[in-house]
């Protein structure tokens, strides 16, 4: 079957299509109904069926490949490396589950995980899934206030954490941040379970804090049966990054998510039992949930959990892992590839990467320069993909497991099966034609694996995502997009990153793409800055390949004029930035996303806001200095 027909079948006959895909996982009790969309926009998949994420990720593989690798935990921060087989992983998960049960955790209780990228974090996630507890992973190192708001929203019975994480060889203490968060939060967890890595001393709160290792030792032979859950019960809550005020918890189901991941591992990521998957993300983000922990294991693959940087001990570390563990599929972010692009090429070339079949990139738009460079270096397909915390798996990419569809530079690809993607005119709500810019939306019902609702707030789910067009109820991604004549989509930036210059609406992403085509530009960020005359103007911050060219006032002036001329030529004078500033690094989160709102705030003389997730605080100082001239 060609991909077009495959996709159309999923839209025309979702019941028949997803009934077939549901055969990829184990069901303890078959479902009565594939889809219940009687109360839009709320979707129920595989109604009445009972299953379990942990069973599908671990238990069902023990008999056929119990002694094969399941979880490969690598830390270049602590120089540790351990391989857990499916059988060993099952034992560790049951030990963690037994600890939770001993601490009073039952089906439906929430457990917050505030952890580094260590094996125990995966054990804890899977243990929650095993006993029907709802996990909420908070990115390790989040500031106390951010953690406290999530504690108050999720109201966990138990919090699991560690003494510290480590980054670039420096310990990042978690326990003091956690203690402060619990103090700030109105809700107090009954217990805090701590993994002591020996990185920093910990002060234990008597009666509340317990050591993981001590409780594990008492439960070495624990056997904890799987708790079977109805398909639409909640599996986890993941709070979206960058939330202000009351956090927004994305609530996920059990059965739909398991089916979506099993299906995507087969059709999008082309994985099969016995393969090895390496996603360089973090369990604090949705990629870590879907494609470090659950997805690869549900597919019977070994999954690599990595703590460390891509350039430590040297920039060949990821490639040495690919070689050692015969990695077949790798998932990363364009930012990481741009970092590696600056490193000596021999660090990649000295490793045998022949096992690698494809590199998947997501998290931010993939520019053509980065894509072309890594494609030439690896000589494997580079597969861009676009999705959100809310959807749990890709909205746009190519499904090479169905048909070897060609990729297109600058485009994440085609709508994935199950997603009825449209581009709508922001003002009229009418559908856009080819090459017309519109808001990217999805017609309901959302496919399996997508969010059920905002945790504890159905009204907010409807108001935030489904009420953006007066004449139709559709899920808004809040992204601008354009579709070419062949059906490939191009993402142009957030609808809330639009700059209104003298009545002209311009997407920051379009201007960034234009500036990036200047031969000396390595990376660029564009923000809209308040202007008394024009309403807003575009201001750009550029990282150069050859910084020396901007080392003098004359050099900066020449470069700025050249870059403005590029925009004039490609987009027209209306899109020309009012200024181009030169820096050596841009403010980003640890997951590689540009902090555009913080840059904009500095440009307008405002407080840059909550910077708990910033990778390098010096980058903001560079923005300040550039603005000061």
> What was the pLDDT predicted at 153?
96
Quote the CA–CA distance of 242 and 270 in Å, as a whole number.
32
| Residue 535: pLDDT band with limits 50, 70, 90 | confident
| Residue 496: pLDDT band with limits 50, 70, 90 | low
pLDDT for 278-296, tens place per residue? 999 999 999 999 999 999 9
CB 535 within 8 A of CB 545: no
> What was the pLDDT predicted at 243?
35
- What's the whole-model pTM score? 0.85
Kindly state the average pLDDT of the residues 120-129.
98
Rounded to the nearest angstrom, the gap between the alpha carbon of residue 530 and the centroid of all alpha carbons in its chain is 31
pLDDT for 401-439, tens place per residue? 999 999 998 899 999 999 999 999 998 999 999 999 999
pLDDT for 543-555, tens place per residue? 999 999 989 999 9
pLDDT for 474-485, tens place per residue? 999 999 999 999
H or E segment and range at residue 236: strand 236-239
Quote the CA–CA distance of 161 and 138 in Å, as a whole number.
10
CB 153 within 8 A of CB 249: yes
Q: Is the pLDDT of residue 206 over 50?
A: yes
Q: Which overall architecture, per CATH, does domain 3-308+385-465 show?
A: 3-Layer(aba) Sandwich (3.40)
Kindly state the average pLDDT of the residues 293-316.
96
Burial of 605 (0-12, 13-18, 19+ CB in 10 A): exposed
| Residue 568: pLDDT band with limits 50, 70, 90 | confident
> Alpha helices, DSSP H only, in 24-118?
53-54, 60-65, 86-102
> What was the pLDDT predicted at 570?
73
> What was the pLDDT predicted at 503?
59
Least confident piece of the model among 118-132, 189-203, 226-240, 502-516:
502-516
> What was the pLDDT predicted at 303?
98
> What was the pLDDT predicted at 370?
87
Which long-range contacts (C-beta less than 8 Å, at least 24 apart) are formed by 347-353?
347/314, 347/315, 347/316, 347/319, 348/315, 348/316, 348/319, 348/377, 348/378, 350/316, 351/316, 351/319, 351/320, 351/322, 351/323, 352/323, 353/319, 353/322, 353/323, 353/378, 353/380
| Residue 314: pLDDT band with limits 50, 70, 90 | very high
| Residue 242: pLDDT band with limits 50, 70, 90 | very low
Kindly state the average pLDDT of the residues 530-543.
86
Cβ partners under 8 Å of residue 39, min gap 6: none
**Tokens representing 541?**
């911050």
Percent of the chain having pLDDT more than 90?
79
Q: Is the pLDDT of residue 493 over 80?
A: no
> What was the pLDDT predicted at 244?
42
Q: Which overall architecture, per CATH, does domain 502-628 show?
A: 2-Layer Sandwich (3.30)
pLDDT for 570-625, tens place per residue? 777 778 999 999 999 999 887 777 888 889 989 999 888 767 778 888 898 999 99
| Residue 159: pLDDT band with limits 50, 70, 90 | very high
> What was the pLDDT predicted at 418?
98
> What was the pLDDT predicted at 504?
65
- Reference 599, options 568, 622, 574, 570; nearest CA is 622
CB 536 within 8 A of CB 500: yes
The ranges assigned to domains in the chain are 3-308+385-465, 502-628
Report angle CA 345, 348, 354 to the nearest 5 degrees. Answer: 140
Residue-averaged pLDDT of the chain: 93
Kindly state the average pLDDT of the residues 43-65.
98
Kindly state the average pLDDT of the residues 230-253.
83
Torsion of CA 145, 149, 155, 157, to 10 degrees: -20
Quote the CA–CA distance of 91 and 305 in Å, as a whole number.
18
């Amino acid at each position: 079957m060609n991909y077009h027909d495959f996709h159309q079948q999923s839209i025309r006959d979702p019941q028949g299509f997803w009934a077939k895909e549901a055969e990829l996982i184990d069901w303890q009790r078959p479902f009565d109904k594939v889809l219940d969309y009687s109360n839009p926009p709320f979707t129920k998949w595989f109604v009445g069926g009972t299953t379990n994420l942990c069973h599908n990720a671990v238990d069902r593989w023990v008999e056929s490949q119990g002694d094969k690798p399941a979880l490969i935990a690598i830390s270049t921060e602590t120089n540790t490396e351990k391989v857990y087989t499916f059988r060993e992983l099952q034992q560790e998960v049951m030990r963690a589950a037994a600890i939770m049960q001993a601490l009073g955790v039952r089906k439906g209780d929430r457990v917050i995980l505030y952890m580094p990228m260590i094996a125990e974090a995966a054990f804890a996630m899977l243990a929650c899934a095993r006993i029907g507890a709802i996990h909420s992973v908070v990115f390790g190192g989040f500031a106390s206030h951010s953690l406290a708001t999530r504690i108050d929203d999720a109201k966990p019975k138990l919090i699991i954490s560690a003494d510290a994480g480590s980054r670039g060889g420096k310990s990042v203490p978690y326990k003091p941040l956690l203690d402060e968060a619990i103090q700030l939060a109105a809700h107090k967890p009954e217990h805090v379970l701590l993994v002591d890595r020996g990185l920093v001393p910990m002060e234990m709160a008597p009666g509340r804090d317990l050591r993981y290792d001590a409780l594990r030792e008492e439960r070495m032979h624990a056997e904890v049966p799987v708790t079977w859950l109805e398909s639409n019960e909640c599996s986890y809550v993941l709070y979206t990054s960058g939330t202000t005020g009351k956090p927004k918890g994305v609530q996920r189901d059990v059965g739909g998510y398991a089916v979506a991941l099993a299906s995507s591992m087969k059709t999008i990521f082309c994985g099969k039992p016995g393969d090895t998957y390496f996603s360089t993300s973090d369990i604090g983000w949705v990629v870590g949930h879907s494609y470090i922990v659950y997805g690869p294991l549900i597919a019977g693959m070994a999954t690599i959990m990595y703590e460390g940087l891509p350039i430590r001990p040297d920039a060949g570390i990821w490639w040495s892992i690919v070689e050692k563990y015969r990695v077949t599929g790798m998932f990363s972010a364009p930012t990481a590839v741009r970092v590696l692009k600056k490193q000596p090429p021999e660090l990649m070339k000295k490793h045998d990467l022949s096992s690698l079949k494809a590199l998947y990139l997501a998290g931010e738009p993939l520019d053509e320069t980065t894509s072309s460079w890594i494609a030439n270096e690896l000589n494997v397909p580079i597969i861009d993909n676009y999705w959100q915390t809310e959807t749990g798996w890709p909205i746009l990419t190519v499904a090479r497991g169905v048909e070897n569809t060609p990729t297109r530079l600058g485009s994440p690809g085609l709508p994935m099966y199950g997603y009825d993607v449209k581009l709508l005119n922001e003002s009229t709500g009418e559908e856009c034609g080819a090459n017309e810019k519109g808001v990217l939306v999805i017609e309901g019902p959302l496919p399996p694996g997508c969010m059920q609702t905002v945790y504890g707030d159905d009204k907010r789910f409807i108001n935030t995502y489904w009420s953006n067009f007066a004449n139709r109820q559709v899920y808004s991604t809040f992204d601008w997009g354009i579709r070419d004549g062949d059906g490939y989509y191009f993402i142009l930036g957030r609808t809330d990153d639009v700059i209104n210059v003298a009545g002209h609406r311009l997407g920051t992403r379009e201007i960034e793409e234009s500036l990036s085509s200047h031969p000396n530009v390595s990376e660029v960020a564009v923000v809209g800055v308040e202007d008394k005359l024009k309403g807003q103007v575009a201001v750009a911050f550029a990282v150069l390949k050859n910084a020396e060219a901007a080392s003098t006032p004359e050099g900066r002036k020449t470069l700025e004029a050249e870059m403005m001329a590029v925009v004039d030529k490609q987009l027209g004078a209306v899109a020309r930035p009012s200024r181009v500033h030169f820096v050596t690094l841009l403010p980003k989160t640890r997951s590689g996303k540009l902090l555009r709102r913080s840059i904009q705030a500095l440009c307008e003389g405002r407080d840059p806001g909550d910077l708990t997730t910033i990778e390098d605080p010096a980058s903001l100082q560079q923005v300040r200095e550039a603005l000061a001239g």
